[in-house]
Structure 1
Amino acid sequence: MTTTDQSTEAPDLDLIRNTTRELARKFDHDYWLDCDNNHKYPWEFVKAFAEGGWLGAMIPEEYGGIGLGLREAAVMMGEIAGSGGGMSGGSAVHFYVFPPAPIVRYGSEDMKRKYLPQLASGDMLTAFGITEPTAGVDTSRIKTKATKVDGGWVINGQKVFITNAQNAQRILLLARTSPRDDAKPLAGMTIFFAEMNRENVTVREIDKLGRAAIDTNELFIDNLFVPDEDVVGEVGKGFYYIIDGLNPERIVVAMEGVGLGRAALEIGAEYAKNRVVFDRPIGQNQAVAHPLADSWIRLEAAERMAMHAAELFDNHQDCGHESAAAKYLGAEAGFEACDRVFSTLGGYAYAKEYHIERLWREVRLLRNAPFSQEMVRNYIAQQVLGLPRSY
């Protein structure tokens, strides 16, 4: 199935699309089903992308990466999800793409030289610790606290929905270094690139609906010491640095939603051409064909919004509105495509051998994470349309 018209894209994007597609599709649907069924981290897949240099896609060349832009990384992530890897494949790689952004932009030179080559090579796995059980989407109300001591900081608190924590060596951890000020609620938070010392960090895995190959966890942090040299940027400005990771995250998630939808459409279109009922392929019926065609159109539109947002980011232009819209469209179009293919296969959609139920479970996450569709609408209503704040 043709996924997009590539005639207007730059040759480098064509090359990246084709190269990463070929690599990702060496790991077929059965590989991902096995990882999902057995809660098995896809290390073979990660190693293959590490050997190809792709984990360092957005890390500058002087620190061991290949220095690509977000557009190239977004294309790669779309191909990974579209190969059948879905959010399991996507999450296994995209944590090398957007979490290092605060280090690349605001970390000290020593920090960059010490850690970025390890990230680029895949020798270091990281987690990203922002969300907390009592704060929800109001990051200004996090309670994890860092207290200054000689030579560093001592952190105490709790995080939730933290990916990779079972195996991560380090975590980009957001903590309060000064009390919340109602006048400046987003100030006073700091990013630490903290070691995941298991004597001070208790990791408890969350059993969840989908993406079982990639662990999701609660963290309980008890007197975790972080030296001064592992503070990212200036103390108190952490939330504003996190934004440099959040916009790429939204764009990457949008492309993963598009990829998931396209993976489902490939299965659905093939099934609709070959499944014969009442002496005709079911794809000959417009009630089957039209929803699939509509999903193809919506996936194309979502990709173009995501690529537009990525281009703005690469050109150092504000892309908050576009990134939010891209995440919204990618999540909606991806879920709708998987859901329509689910209906196309009927009862067979429940059979794991057709892989739709796995894609459907994984894409549903994107309507809630990294933030909900309702919060996107709130943001656009207030920040773009100028309407009164509703939350």
Structure 2
Amino acid sequence: MSFKTLRTNYVTKPLFKTLKRKGLLPSISDTEKTALRAGSVWIEGELFSGKPDFERIFSYNYPTLSKEEQAFLDNEVEEVCAMTDDWEVFYTRDLPEQVWKYLKDKSFFGMIIPKEHGGLGFSAYGHSCVIEKLATCSQVLAITVMVPNSLGPAELLLRYGEENQKKYYLPRLANGSEIPCFALTEPEAGSDAAAIRSHGTIFKDTDGNLKIKLQFEKRYITLGAVATVIGLAFVCKDPENLLGRGVDLGITCALVTADKNGIDQSRRHDPMGVPFINAPLIGKDVIINLDDVIGGLEGIGKGWQMLMESLAVGRGISLPSTSTGGSKLAAFVASTYSVVRYQFGIAIGKFEGVAEVIGRLGAEVYVLDAAKRFTLGAIDDGEKPAVANAIMKYHSTEKFRKNIMDAMDIQGGAAIIMGPKNLLAHAYYGAPIAITVEGANIITRTLIQFGQGMIRCHPYAYAEIEAIEKEDIDAFDTYFFEHLSHIIRNMFRACILGISRGHLHKPQNRGITARYEQKLAWCSAKFACMSDIALGLMGSGMKKRESVSGRFADVLSQMYLLSATLKRFEAEGSLPADEVFLKVGMEEGFRKIDEAFLGIHQNLSGGLIGMLFRFKGYCGRINPMGRAVNDRDLHAVAMLLASDENVRNRVFSNMYRGGRIEELNEAVEMMFEARDVIRKRKKLGENTLSVEEKKILEKTDALQQNIIAVDSYTNEDYFRC
């Protein structure tokens, strides 16, 4: 009798029965399986492995724009930004008619549609850059363009539509003759998309043709009030079994033209006063044909798969693009305003407290832009990194919310007075909206990033669960003992790297990035080891331990963001001026990892095992991966952003520089040109200045006053608003 046979009979079978009887491994429903299978495992798998292959990670694509995409940004995007006055958009509560027309004429709504169907055929990176730049001009403009290019009719048709559906709809969506929306969210189905109650019943009409009668109540539907074609998710039922597939056919996606009887588009939502079109949609006894289902007859019941696979990509493009654009705007305004605004006779950017905030803003934008671009490179290479995209959705929107608040703190009163001169308030209004879209951030952090990521990206967990469900003892035996070896290797590796503080890992690169790579290797080993311990301790109860899961998600997401930041630094030539941005971003990320690990150690278990983890937490405090960010580094970032136009333009690239931003730029340049004259006036007095120097100061003072000015209104105008 072989060793494996003995092991199977006396170890694996009893263990198998115990796990199955007591449900010690997480169970996975059919809907969860679809979500888990959606997308692909990319760099997340490396981070879960405990021994990431950094040579492979750093070899991933770092995308660039095509000539056509760059030309579109330099021309069409510039033009539509110049046409859009964001204050006027808020005042009239809509984009100007000429802007709507321009967006349609120039195929802004067809960026993801291939050229053969009349679209622009842009890459994910090119599409993202357009949205990002629009967001630096107007959040309403960005959202309006973003939605048709995100999850919706075009995306679903391209992936799952029949050829005749593509030929009819895609050219019309590309040229703007059809305005799309996608109706998914309901009163009882927000983050839990599987809980939708809208339904369609298959029936025979008087001519004997099979049709579907829809009943739906949707809310938060962007472009819903003006859409001409509605992508609708509903539960399809066949009570008479007319299709011969049973009664409950599952979630289905269909295209419903908005002019059908029974559809009510007459109402609007008001999301925080931000006037992008958002509305409830009601449908009563709406009749559609079976060939209105995306994918035709074969598409019935496949809606959940469609949604999960599309969301797996969409989370990595739309919201990270608008959030990065908004963050660049916030940091740019804060850093330039701090040069122009004087208090107590000096520029406020020279106050250490202000410089600290600007330094943090600059580093956050550097990290966020790196992660966005890294993720888009994967998508353009055909990956569908579901976990990485969930990380991007969560962190981009959270960083945007924090960045806009920091920038407003620096501007002080100028940031809270509404009017055309205020560049930040409208973005501030929009920040909470981004947090809620495509799954609330609390759920994204506590359930998706690690909860699904652990099962999806772990080398053995999902295979073991499937083997138990299929009662395949041989497969389970193989996976379980490979998993056990994996755990032992990672425990040893985590111990060795912990003792050496990561120095025993041989990095791929030299210089400043080498040490950070060593720390990431150490972190991955510790994370993989702790993940397996958590899975063993909590088993099927792991789903309910959302606070612990959220802390694991924090570690995983920081490892992802830091890997992307290292990739950016190397890909952009390891520029000396960027070293301080890298340093601040990396140290802050490792500090957050230490904090998350401490929370895991303190909360993972009770009893004797809990004492062990609390001891490990103590060890983590005396042997941390990160450290507090040095004040000098934060001040250095602030100084670079304030004084070096080349650095500022690189870190805050792809911004619309017209209007008030152009005035800020001009004022900053003039302040630096006049700095010697300003010092002379302060030291020796006005009377010592030459005529030419007085003219310079006169121009400088005028520009300065223009920037620090805030809007005011007559009583009549104020109450009219």
Q: TM-score, normalised by structure 1?
A: 0.89
Q: How does 1:10-159 map to 2 (within 5 A)?
A: 12-13=65-66, 16-17=69-70, 19-20=72-73, 22-26=75-79, 27-28=81-82, 31-82=85-136, 84-86=137-139, 88-98=140-150, 99=152, 100-149=154-203, 150-159=209-218
CA contact (8 A) 1:81 1:89 kept: yes
The aligned counterpart of 1:4 is none
Change (3 A) 1:14 1:78: farther
Range moving further from structure 2, 63-72 or 98-107: 63-72
The aligned counterpart of 1:322 is 388
Q: How does 1:308-347 map to 2 (within 5 A)?
A: 308-347=374-413
- State the 1:9 CA deviation: 6.0
Q: Aligned partners of 1:269 and 1:290: how far apart in 2?
A: 11
Q: Aligned partners of 1:286 and 1:14: how far apart in 2?
A: 42
Say which SS state the counterpart of residue 205 (structure 1) adopts.
coil
- State the 1:261 CA deviation: 1.2
CA contact (8 A) 1:56 1:120 kept: yes
Is 1:384 the counterpart of 2:443? The answer is no
Q: Aligned partners of 2:190 and 2:352: how far apart in 1?
A: 43
- State the 1:359 CA deviation: 1.0
The aligned counterpart of 1:222 is 284
Q: CA RMSD in A?
A: 2.3
CA contact (8 A) 1:20 1:80 kept: no
CA contact (8 A) 1:174 1:192 kept: yes
- State the 1:25 CA deviation: 4.0
Q: Larger helix proportion, structure 1 or 2? A: 2
CA contact (8 A) 1:248 1:310 kept: no
Change (3 A) 1:223 1:132: same
CA contact (8 A) 1:81 1:259 kept: yes
- State the 1:18 CA deviation: 6.2
Q: Aligned partners of 2:227 and 2:306: how far apart in 1?
A: 21
Deviation per CA, 1:198-245: give whole Å up to 9, x if none: 641123211231421x12111221011112221102100012112343
Range moving further from structure 2, 60-69 or 115-124: 60-69
Greater gyration radius: 2
The aligned counterpart of 2:459 is none
Report the AA paired with residue 271 of structure 2: K
Q: Aligned partners of 1:355 and 1:29: how far apart in 2?
A: 16
Change (3 A) 1:295 1:344: same
Say which SS state the counterpart of residue 65 (structure 2) adopts.
helix
- State the 1:298 CA deviation: 1.6
- State the 1:292 CA deviation: 2.1
Say which SS state the counterpart of residue 62 (structure 1) adopts.
helix
Deviation per CA, 1:3-29: give whole Å up to 9, x if none: xxxxx9655357635642554344359
The aligned counterpart of 1:236 is 301
- State the 1:92 CA deviation: 1.0
Say which SS state the counterpart of residue 148 (structure 2) adopts.
coil
Change (3 A) 1:66 1:247: same
- State the 1:191 CA deviation: 0.4
Deviation per CA, 1:129-150: give whole Å up to 9, x if none: 0000012211111110011123
Q: Aligned partners of 2:284 and 2:335: how far apart in 1?
A: 52
Report the AA paired with residue 307 of structure 2: I
Deviation per CA, 1:280-337: give whole Å up to 9, x if none: 1111112112222212222222232223332323333231011111111211221122
CA contact (8 A) 1:21 1:79 kept: no
Is 1:348 the counterpart of 2:414? The answer is yes
Say which SS state the counterpart of residue 380 (structure 1) adopts.
helix
Q: Aligned partners of 2:64 and 2:120: how far apart in 1?
A: 17
Say which SS state the counterpart of residue 394 (structure 2) adopts.
helix
Q: Aligned partners of 1:297 and 1:37: how far apart in 2?
A: 34
Q: Aligned partners of 1:232 and 1:240: how far apart in 2?
A: 12
Say which SS state the counterpart of residue 221 (structure 2) adopts.
strand
Q: Larger strand proportion, structure 1 or 2? A: 1
Q: How does 1:220-299 map to 2 (within 5 A)?
A: 220-233=282-295, 234-250=299-315, 251-299=317-365
Of 220, 226, 248, the residue aligned with 1:161 is 220
Deviation per CA, 1:237-280: give whole Å up to 9, x if none: 01211234323432211111010111222222222111110001
Report the AA paired with residue 262 of structure 2: N
Report sequence identity in percent: 19
- State the 1:369 CA deviation: 1.4
Change (3 A) 1:194 1:138: same
CA contact (8 A) 2:231 2:253 kept: yes
Range moving further from structure 2, 343-352 or 124-133: 343-352
CA contact (8 A) 1:13 1:75 kept: no
Report the AA paired with residue 374 of structure 1: I
Range moving further from structure 2, 63-72 or 116-125: 63-72
Of 261, 266, 272, the residue aligned with 1:209 is 272
Deviation per CA, 1:44-77: give whole Å up to 9, x if none: 3343343333432211122111222212211221
The aligned counterpart of 1:5 is none
Q: Aligned partners of 1:287 and 1:299: how far apart in 2?
A: 19
CA contact (8 A) 1:155 1:222 kept: yes
- Runs of 5+ unmatched residues, structure 1: 1-7, 180-185
Change (3 A) 1:317 1:151: same
Change (3 A) 1:239 1:187: farther
Range moving further from structure 2, 162-171 or 146-155: 146-155
Q: Aligned partners of 1:344 and 1:228: how far apart in 2?
A: 57
Is 1:367 the counterpart of 2:420? The answer is no
Range moving further from structure 2, 14-23 or 369-378: 14-23
- State the 1:108 CA deviation: 0.9
The aligned counterpart of 1:3 is none
Report the AA paired with residue 236 of structure 2: T
Deviation per CA, 1:361-382: give whole Å up to 9, x if none: 1122112212222112121121
CA contact (8 A) 2:77 2:130 kept: no
The aligned counterpart of 1:200 is 262
Q: Aligned partners of 1:23 and 1:290: how far apart in 2?
A: 37
Q: Aligned partners of 1:227 and 1:193: how far apart in 2?
A: 10
User: Aligned residues, how many?
Assistant: 375
Change (3 A) 1:29 1:68: closer
Change (3 A) 1:142 1:364: same
Q: Aligned partners of 2:195 and 2:62: how far apart in 1?
A: 43
Range moving further from structure 2, 53-62 or 113-122: 53-62
Say which SS state the counterpart of residue 154 (structure 1) adopts.
strand
Q: Aligned partners of 1:81 and 1:349: how far apart in 2?
A: 18
